[in-house]
Homo-oligomer: A and B are copies of this chain.
Amino acid sequence: MVPVMLRRYGDLTRVALARYLAPREPHRHLYALVADYPRRGGRMMRPTLCIATARLFGAAAEEAAGAAVGLELLHNAFLVHDDVEDESEARRGGPTLHATHGTAVAVNTGDALILLGLRALMDTRATIGPRLALRLLEDAERMGRESVEGQAMELGWRRDVALRLGDAEYFAMVLKKTCWYTTIFPSRAGALIGTRSEENLDRFIRFGFFLGVAFQIQDDVLNLVGNEAAYGKELDGDIREGKRTLMLLHLMREAGDAERDRLAAFLALPRAARDDEDVRWVRDRMLARGSVDYARTVAHALAGAAREECVRLYAGMPDSEDRRFVEELPAWVIRRA
């Protein structure tokens, strides 16, 4: 069910999105670049979750398409700024925006994408009225705030060369940095549009937390063991960036003294000074110490919890394609390659 719905609501979103990505001036140094990441594709998981949730609560898919476009644009804005912040080289199978056009243009393009995403959310007033449209914007602001706080935690760990972090700290960071914009806000936005009410949105936080963390762990596992062409980012880029993944945390705990010293020295280096041999060594240690298996086990448990939450959320509702999509999503996020 998941791939079918991703295609169906993804197509609906892409059509609505095209209106916001029409060529405008200044083109070459702004709007051509604003359209770049959104046009590279993507699975449309966030818009589809939003639309399916809206339908579960009684809205037509078209009524949620504007919010879906808004959150997809905000997602792309985060990607552009995150790529600058992480000094990433590849994204969705191509060079990152800043790698091609420089940091200045990339930061400005990310700002334009934030504004465009907000505009799409503001435009929902035509469907849901000004009061609920404002409520949706307030929730988007909350989502953005959680994201920048999570990003600050992660950047802080790197700057401080944090070596002893527990899984709980990792979960708290991912709740903010990933879950809010990937799973929680899409669910809340869909429910707001479906119920035409701003009440009872907090019930989606647990579901979104379990699902979002499972998603993030699988993403990190794929960065390590996935196929580069299918994955779209540079493989092992996370290790090179010193990203605090569940696997890195596990390795720090399980490593022997000599290993831990080498790992600490590696993490203290600036990104550009980390060489291929070191990156391979970290990767090998993660595999040898069972860090990847550990991460997969945790992701599996979280996906199970997400499914349980989901069954609870929609208990008593009639069977539907939308319900099956949402219930099957947890298993899909940890299965995808």
Interface residues of A, Cβ cutoff 8 Å to B = 25-26, 28-30, 81, 84-87, 102-105, 107-112, 114-115, 118-119, 122, 125, 130-131, 133-134, 137-138, 141, 144-145, 148-149, 151-153, 155-156, 159
The 22 sampled A-B contact pairs (Cβ below 8 Å) are A26-B153, A26-B156, A28-B156, A29-B153, A29-B155, A81-B111, A84-B104, A84-B107, A85-B108, A86-B104, A105-B155, A107-B107, A108-B148, A111-B114, A112-B145, A112-B152, A115-B145, A115-B148, A130-B130, A130-B131, A131-B131, A134-B137
Residue contact B155 to A104, C-beta cutoff 8 Å: yes
Residue contact A29 to B81, C-beta cutoff 8 Å: no
Residue contact B29 to A156, C-beta cutoff 8 Å: yes
Chain B hits for A152, CB < 8 A: 26, 29-30, 105, 108-109, 112
Q: Which of A84, A115, A119 counts the most chain B CB atoms within 10 A?
A: A115
Residue in B84, B134, B155 whose CB lies within 8 Å of A122: B134
Minimum CB distance partner of A112 in chain B: B148
Q: Which of A102, A112, A138, A151 counts the most chain B CB atoms within 10 A?
A: A151
Chain B hits for A108, CB < 8 A: 81, 85, 148, 151-152, 155
Residue in B84, B111, B125, B155 whose CB lies within 8 Å of A134: B125
Q: How far is the CA of A138 from the CA of B102 in the complex (A)?
A: 30
Q: How far is the CA of A107 from the CA of B286 in the complex (A)?
A: 31
Q: How far is the CA of A153 from the CA of B28 in the complex (A)?
A: 9
- Apart from the given pairs A85-B107, A115-B148, 13 other A-B contacts in the complex at a CB distance below 8 Å: A26-B156, A30-B149, A85-B108, A87-B104, A105-B159, A111-B148, A112-B145, A115-B145, A118-B141, A122-B138, A130-B134, A134-B134, A134-B137
Minimum CB distance partner of A156 in chain B: B29
Chain B hits for A30, CB < 8 A: 148-149, 152
Residue contact A103 to B104, C-beta cutoff 8 Å: no
Q: How far is the CB of A9 from chain B (nearest CB, A)?
A: 26
Residue in B28, B85, B119 whose CB lies within 8 Å of A141: B119
Q: How far is the CA of A59 from the CA of B170 in the complex (A)?
A: 48
Minimum CB distance partner of A133 in chain B: B134
Given contacts A30-B152, A130-B131, contact A104 B122 (CB under 8 A): no
- Kindly list the 3 A-B residue pairs having the minimum CB-CB distance in the complex, ordered from nearest: A29-B156, A30-B152, A85-B104
